[in-house]
Structure formats: C-alpha cells, structure tokens
Amino acid sequence: MSNPRRLGISDALARDLWEWRVRGEEHSDYGGRAPITPEVRADLLRTGPALADRLAEETGAKVVYSWPNGPDGRDPTCPTCGPDRRQP
C-alpha cells in the first residue's frame, strides 16, 4: 500500500479503504474465499459511497463511485456481469 501521506489522505481513511477492498476481495466472484452474503453485499454497498465521499473531501479531487446496481446486485449495463452476460 502506498504511503497515505503521499496520497494526501489520512491514515484512518487509508486503513478504511484498505479494509473495504480486502473485505470485497474475500467475497469476490473471481477467487474470493467465501461466497458473498446479502449482508456483506449490503455493507459494501453502504460503505463504498461514504468512503468515496471521504476520499473526495480529503483530496479535493472528483471521485466517482461505481458499483453494480441492478436488482440482483449486477450492473445492468455490463456485458460481463449484466443480464446479457456471456454464459460459460
């Protein structure tokens, strides 16, 4: 992980971003150690935008938060994970 001071963010935000990323990867469809539960998905969806807002506040940069937002948790516009996704 890069030094938070070099990025212009607080140690607390760097830690929270790191923990959010790790939690998401633990439940990733692409090699995660555990299937994602509705509770974990809801938590990631709830905390992601708040982290993006904190990042924008601390850096003064425009931060765009993007997460699958379809009714089943998939991005309806994504050719890989959306409703028209390729089947294996």
* Other CB atoms within 10 A of residue 20 CB: 16
Query: Interior CA angle at 37 toward 36 and 41, to 5°?
Result: 75
Could you tell me the two tokens for 36?
Answer: 């994602």
Q: What is the CA radius of gyration of the chain?
A: 15
Which residue stretches of the chain are H helix? 4-7, 11-26, 38-59
Q: Is the pLDDT of residue 88 over 50?
A: no
- Residue-wise pLDDT for 16-46, tens only, equals 999 998 888 887 766 667 777 888 888 988 8
Q: How far apart are CA 51 and CA 49, in angstroms?
A: 5
The pLDDT assigned to 17 comes to: 93
pTM above the 0.75 mark? Answer: no
Kindly report, residue by residue over 43-87, the tens digit of the pLDDT: 988 898 899 899 999 999 888 777 666 666 666 666 666 665 555
User: What pLDDT, on the 0 to 100 scale, is given for residue 38?
Assistant: 85
Query: What pLDDT score was predicted for residue 36?
Result: 79
| Residue 86 three-state SS | coil
Orientation of helix 38-59 relative to helix 11-26, angle to 10°: 150
